Amino acid sequence: MNDILIRTLLREDAAPLLQFERKNRAWFEQHIAPRPPEFYTQQGVRRHIAQYLDGYANGSWHPCVILDGQGRIVGRANLKDIDRQAASAEAGYRIASDQTGKGLATQALRHLIALAEQRWRLRCLLAYVADGNAASARVLNKCGFVQGEHQAGMEVIAGALRGGRQFVRPCP
């Protein structure tokens, strides 16, 4: 596997992030709810980054990008809804379609776990996986998440309302 760098999202990531999101849009929309069409513009991505960095500044988000050895964005990983009082957050990631099966999701999730524990001092992480996304469920299990009960009607994916499962990882 190429060397991978996972770092906090920067404003300067707008153009490569838009390229990454456009290239992988159809792939992502098979597994997660679609983004609005206006997201897929320079202005839309700049606005998205500004919102995420505002969340980072106020302590409610930690947005990251995953870069390959050539500095190309090949994935994203985020802690969102960081709740310092409850010491919890939601973890999520998306990996480029041509990069699946290489361990990037596991590497990204381990990075988020380390951020949660060391940077944010969180005790619990949550994650959600839609029905039919067995690969993400395997990654979560591998990283110490425990599968919870099924939740009907979790989100709309590919035009259909799908259920899914919440996964929980207690942090030491």
pLDDT of residue 144: 95
Considering the domain 5-122 in this protein, what is its CATH number? 3.40.630.30
pLDDT of residue 29: 83
Query: Which sequence spans correspond to the domains of the chain?
Result: 5-122
Strand order in the sheet with 61-67: 5-8, 61-67, 73-83, 88-95, 124-130, 160-170, 146-157
Measured between its terminal Cα atoms, the distance across the chain in Å is 29
CB 107 within 8 A of CB 76: no
- Mean pLDDT computed over 81-102: 94
Residue 1: pLDDT band (50, 70, 90) is very low
Return the half-sphere exposure (C-beta side, CA atoms, 13 A cut-off) of residue 56.
Answer: 17
Helix axes 104-114, 134-142, angle to 10 degrees: 50
Residues forming a β-bridge with 6: 66
| pTM metric for this prediction | 0.90
Question: Structure tokens of 170?
Answer: 């207690």
- Helix (H) / strand (E) element for 131: namely none
pLDDT of residue 34: 81
5-64 confidence digits (pLDDT tens): 999 999 999 999 999 999 999 988 887 778 889 999 999 999 999 999 999 999 999 999
* Secondary-structure percent of the chain, ordered helix, strand, coil, rounded to 5: 40, 35, 25
Distances (CA, A) of 135 to 18, 73, 115, 127, 139: 25, 21, 23, 13, 6
CB 51 within 8 A of CB 42: no
The three-class DSSP label of residue 147 is: strand
